[in-house]
Amino acid sequence: MPEDELSRSSHSNPGKSLVNGIKTNPASSSPKSSLSVPLGPPVYVDLAYIPNHCSGKNTDPEFFKRIRASYYVVSGNDAANGEPSRAVLDALLEGKSQWGENLQVTLIPTHDTEVTREWYQQTHEKQQELNIMVLASSSTVVMQDESFPACKIEF
């Protein structure tokens, strides 16, 4: 979109903003209670990044009902800020249980956290029932004196 059209569109809709790609009214205290876009059919994607480092601030079961991915990336590694959030991981189970089809889902945590480990252990049976696999990788990439965990995904 050209810059002048972008400028006009942002001025023609004052008081509206986007939360997880959904128009909301910022005057409301909860973005979920002020949806101005009707809910539509689910969107199927290969890979989805769970927003906000898997924080519970903007992600709930509705996200997983609408965004149906073969792979979800969980990047949270800040326990003090609730990242990753146990509630979001539980929301994945709740959302996936509503799909009505048993598609394989792979969860890719980018960090080994206590929250993720506990969730995995406590909900393992439910994960198997819902055809959810949690990917663990012992591979490490070293670049310019930095090392970090890595995994390979093939589509």
Residue that wins the pLDDT comparison between 2 and 62: 62
Give residue 80's pLDDT: 72
- Structure tokens given for 155: 């589509």
The confidence score (pLDDT) of residue 155 equals 59
pLDDT at 72: 92
Whether residue 151 is predicted with pLDDT greater than 60 in this model: the reply is: yes
**Domain definitions of the chain by residue range:** 43-149
pLDDT in tens, 76-133: 777 676 668 899 999 999 999 999 888 999 998 888 888 888 999 999 999 999 999 9
Q: What is the pLDDT of residues 56-88, one digit of tens each?
A: 677 888 989 999 999 998 887 776 766 688 999
pLDDT band at 139; cut points 50, 70, 90: low
**How many Å is the maximal CA-CA distance in the chain?**
53
Q: What is the pLDDT of residue 13?
A: 44
Residue 32 pLDDT? 46
Instruction: Read off the pTM.
Output: 0.65
